[in-house]
């Protein structure tokens, strides 16, 4: 039989109407009888493997799935880090014990504080732009030499209603680091090492420090930084490590090896090795010899040691020994050449968050058990315990002084000689996770009386989750400079040859001098 002219063929006609590819558009209609039969079939719930034993008509399956108590769910606070996976029916019970649910009021409060800080930052930025416009209209130019300043204490900053407090705030605002353009290799600012010989690098920490370089091409938040021989190492939240040549910023290398966030980096100059560690509990040794010699752009992993019982928060190298501080409450000692485990120091009762080298073969550790401990590295024995009023997060040492930051946003200063408390530094709004001390020889050795040294005093730098870095005068125990510019938690900080380096959750690394 011949096809009529109004029939459209879905596929080209063949020589026979019985060919299966010969289908007319009028044949394509739903078989309602069959569809109804299928809809009446009894089926299992799709979440049967999770425990749902119900059967139902196929037509009712979609409605059941919406309210099935065995639907796989994650915690309401998964975005904050809760790793719970379960079913909808058990979620209510989980929330009774969920740490993040218990911290919900605190998290809400912190979010509100973030909003306030962001609003304040925007307001200060607008004020800064207005001041720039006034200067431009007046035909004045910014001074080329550093301006003299007077220390501003945290107490005077709080006197907002008084003339003295207002003057202090204006003095502080004049030294706030202004926003700078994103880093571009074609517009590099010379590093401190390139300045004239007349400039004393030993005094850089005392000037009006500003941010002069920003590296913003990182894939995720920066969690640790390390410096050596004009080379910057930046570890990321995603487990990668970026290596950047500061003399040739086009020479960048990205290293992969960790499965989770890298929280600690340190160098062993004698063997040209970089050590990294973090949330996955692994310590990795990386060979830098070929890279540092300019013979290769790649960096290879030499060895991996596993800390089977905890995350690693801090690393430090002394001679041929590597020290690691971890969540398992111990300090472990490793051979830097083989990563062989040599010893374990025990004594803390909670996470060890920071580790710092002291003099005379000693180290100091900061712990969530609210103590600092000083260890003899030869014997592995704790020689002194210093109590802190809150969880100790980081520590720093220099010129006979020992500093510790605590979870209550305070910094404590002690005499290393006798552990005598010297001062409590108050100024940050949130906890301080990073400390770095730029010593100037003004304090002398540990046995020297505090304040008796000659020359410029040392400066303490602190990096906080309040998005700022503060500089502290160790003569007056006051904050004399606030560095602003980061737009997230300051997770990482270290000192280079005449500058400060900071890493942040905003995916940037900044250099200040």
Nearest 5°: the CA angle 135, 139, 140 is 60
Instruction: Assign 201 to helix, strand or coil.
Output: helix
Question: Does the pLDDT at position 358 exceed 90?
Answer: yes
pLDDT, position 179: 38
Instruction: Assign 332 to helix, strand or coil.
Output: strand
512 in Cβ contact with 211 (< 8 Å): yes
More confident residue, 206 or 347: 347
pLDDT digits 0-9 by tens, 41-54 = 888 888 888 889 88
For 136-142, what is the mean pLDDT? 52
pLDDT, position 165: 35
425 in Cβ contact with 479 (< 8 Å): yes
Question: Does the pLDDT at position 136 exceed 90?
Answer: no
More confident residue, 103 or 300: 300
- For the ranges 186-190, 319-323, 334-338, 469-473, which has the lowest average pLDDT? 186-190
Question: CA-CA distance, 496 to 227, in Å (whole number)?
Answer: 6
First to last CA, the chain: 92
Is 3.50.50.60 the CATH classification of the domain at 25-95? Answer: no
Which residues does 13 contact at the CB level (< 8 Å), separation at least 6?
3, 22
Q: What is the DSSP letter of 79?
A: G
Question: Does the pLDDT at position 372 exceed 60?
Answer: yes
Question: CA-CA distance, 145 to 473, in Å (whole number)?
Answer: 21
Q: What is the DSSP letter of 195?
A: S
Which residues does 321 contact at the CB level (< 8 Å), separation at least 6?
333, 334, 335, 336, 342, 377
Report pTM.
0.62
Beta bridge partners of 282: 306
Instruction: Assign 353 to helix, strand or coil.
Output: strand
Give me the CATH topology for the region 179-512.
Methylamine Dehydrogenase; Chain H (2.130.10)
The tokens describing 273, both together, are 């090795």
pLDDT, position 193: 38
Q: What is the 3-state secondary structure (H, E, C) of 331-355?
A: EEEEECCCCCEEEEEECCCCCEEEE
For 470-480, what is the mean pLDDT? 95
Question: CA-CA distance, 104 to 267, in Å (whole number)?
Answer: 39
Identify the sign of the CA torsion 308, 243, 506, 484.
positive
Identify the sign of the CA torsion 342, 347, 350, 353.
negative
For 310-331, what is the mean pLDDT? 96
pLDDT digits 0-9 by tens, 172-223 = 333 333 334 333 333 344 444 333 323 334 578 888 899 999 998 778 999 9
The tokens describing 120, both together, are 């304040």
146, 157, 222, 286, 428 from 278: Cα distances, Å:
40, 37, 13, 15, 26
Q: What is the DSSP letter of 190?
A: P
**Helices assigned H by DSSP within 68-103:** 88-97, 99-102
pLDDT digits 0-9 by tens, 1-43 = 444 445 444 455 544 545 555 555 555 555 566 667 777 888 8
Transcribe 211-259 into DSSP letters: EEEEE---SS-EEEEEEETTEEEEEETTS-EEEEESS-TT-EEEE---S
pLDDT band at 482 (very low <50, low <70, confident <90, very high): very high
Question: Does the pLDDT at position 349 exceed 90?
Answer: yes
pLDDT, position 77: 84
pLDDT band at 442 (very low <50, low <70, confident <90, very high): very low
For 467-486, what is the mean pLDDT? 96
Please state, rounded to an integer, the average pLDDT across all residues of the chain: 80
């Amino acid at each position: 039989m011949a096809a009529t002219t109004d029939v459209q063929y879905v596929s080209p006609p063949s020589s026979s109407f019985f060919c299966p590819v010969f289908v007319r558009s009028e044949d394509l209609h739903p078989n309602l009888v069959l569809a109804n039969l299928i809809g009446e079939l009894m089926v299992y719930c799709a979440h049967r493997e999770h425990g749902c034993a119900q059967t139902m008509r196929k037509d009712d399956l979609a409605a059941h799935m919406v309210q099935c108590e065995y639907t796989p769910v994650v915690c309401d606070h998964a975005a904050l880090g809760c790793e719970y996976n379960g079913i909808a029916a058990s979620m209510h019970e989980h929330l009774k014990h969920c740490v993040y649910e218990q911290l919900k009021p605190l998290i809400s409060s912190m979010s509100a504080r973030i909003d306030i800080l962001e609003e304040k930052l925007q307001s200060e930025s607008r004020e800064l732009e207005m001041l720039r416009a006034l200067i431009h209209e007046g035909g004045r130019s910014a001074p080329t030499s550093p301006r003299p300043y007077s220390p501003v204490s945290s107490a005077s900053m709080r006197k907002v209603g008084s003339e003295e407090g207002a003057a202090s705030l204006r003095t502080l605002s004049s030294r706030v680091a202004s926003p700078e353009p994103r880093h571009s290799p074609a517009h590099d600012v010379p590093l401190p090492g390139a300045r004239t010989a007349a400039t004393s690098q030993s005094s850089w920490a005392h000037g009006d420090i500003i941010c002069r370089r920003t590296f913003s091409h990182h894939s995720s938040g920066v969690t640790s930084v390390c410096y050596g021989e004009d080379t910057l190492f930046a570890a990321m939240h995603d487990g990668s490590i970026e290596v950047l040549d500061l003399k040739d910023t086009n020479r960048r290398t990205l290293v992969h090896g960790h499965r989770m966030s890298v929280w600690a980096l340190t160098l062993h100059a004698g063997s040209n090795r970089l050590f990294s560690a973090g949330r996955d509990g692994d310590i990795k040794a990386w060979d830098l010899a070929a890279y540092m010699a300019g013979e290769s752009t790649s960096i290879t992993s030499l060895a991996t040691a596993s800390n089977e019982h905890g995350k690693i928060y801090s690393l430090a190298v002394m001679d041929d020994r590597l020290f690691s501080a971890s969540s398992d409450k111990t300090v472990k000692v490793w051979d830097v050449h083989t990563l062989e485990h040599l010893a374990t120091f025990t004594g803390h009762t909670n996470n060890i968050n920071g580790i710092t080298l002291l003099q005379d073969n000693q180290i100091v550790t900061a712990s969530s058990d609210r103590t600092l401990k000083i260890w003899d590295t030869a014997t592995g024995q704790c020689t002194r315990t210093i109590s802190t009023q809150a969880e100790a997060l980081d520590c720093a040492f220099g010129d006979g002084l020992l500093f510790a930051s605590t979870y209550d946003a305070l910094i404590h200063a002690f005499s290393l000689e006798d552990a005598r408390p010297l001062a409590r530094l108050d100024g940050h709004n949130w906890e301080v996770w990073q400390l770095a001390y730029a010593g100037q020889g003004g304090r002398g050795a540990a046995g020297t009386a505090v304040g008796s040294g000659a020359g410029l005093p040392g400066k303490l730098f602190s990096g906080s989750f309040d998005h700022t870095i503060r500089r502290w005068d160790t003569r007056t125990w006051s904050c004399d400079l606030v560095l602003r510019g980061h737009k997230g938690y300051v997770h990482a900080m270290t000192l280079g040859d005449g500058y400060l380096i900071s890493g942040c959750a905003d995916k940037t690394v900044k250099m200040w001098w």
